[in-house]
Amino acid sequence: MKKVISVFVLVFAVAFSTNAQEKMMKDAATKTIALEQTKGEFTQKQITVAPGSYIFEISNNAVGHNVGFVLVKKGQDISKPENHIKTAYVTQAVATGTSQKSNVVSLEKGEYVYFCPLNPTSTDNTLIVK
């Protein structure tokens, strides 16, 4: 019985260690793209990044009301929610003077546009992945 418990503990420890290492590697590979909104615009109009996993951190700098974030592959109709990259949405509306993050978004080579539907920003903001 003692030997069975020892084997179970060893298998559990190896599995736990592997999962923890995979999570740490994934977390280390995920980068943050910080974007700031002011009244009617994003302060960053164009961003270029490499393909990979990203979290968007959206800051509300004195807009005066909540803001959000929408990311769409360039060329798709931005008015259709089915074209929005849902994981890029902030997890909750961003109040004035605060920031919120999205979930992890996997970005592939190409161009994307971003905007805020709550703080009517230009849809000319471009994210280039190359």
Question: What number of other Cβ atoms are within 10 A of residue 113's Cβ?
Answer: 18
Confidence bin at 23 (pLDDT 50/70/90): very low
Q: Note if the pTM is more than 0.85.
A: no
Residue 19 lies inside a defined structural domain of this protein: no
Q: What is the average per-residue pLDDT within 90-109?
A: 97
55-69 pLDDT, tens digit per residue, is 999 999 999 999 999
Residue 11 lies inside a defined structural domain of this protein: no
Residue 4 lies inside a defined structural domain of this protein: no
Average pLDDT over the chain, rounded to whole? 85
Nearest residue to 97 via CA among 64, 66, 68, 60: 60
Nearest residue to 110 via CA among 126, 130, 124: 130
Inform me whether the pLDDT recorded for 50 exceeds 80. Answer: yes
Confidence bin at 122 (pLDDT 50/70/90): confident
Q: Quote the Cα angle for 93-78-39, to 5°.
A: 45
Query: How many structural domains are present in the chain?
Result: 1
Inform me whether the pLDDT recorded for 2 exceeds 60. Answer: no
Neighbouring-strand partners of residue 90: 102
Residue 75 lies inside a defined structural domain of this protein: yes
The range of the structural domain enclosing residue 99 comes to: 30-129
The predicted structure's pLDDT at residue 47: 96
CATH number at residue 73: 2.60.40.420
For the residues of 36-70, what is the DSSP string, one character each? EEETTEES--EEEE-SEEEEEEEEE-S-SS-B--E
Residue 78 lies inside a defined structural domain of this protein: yes
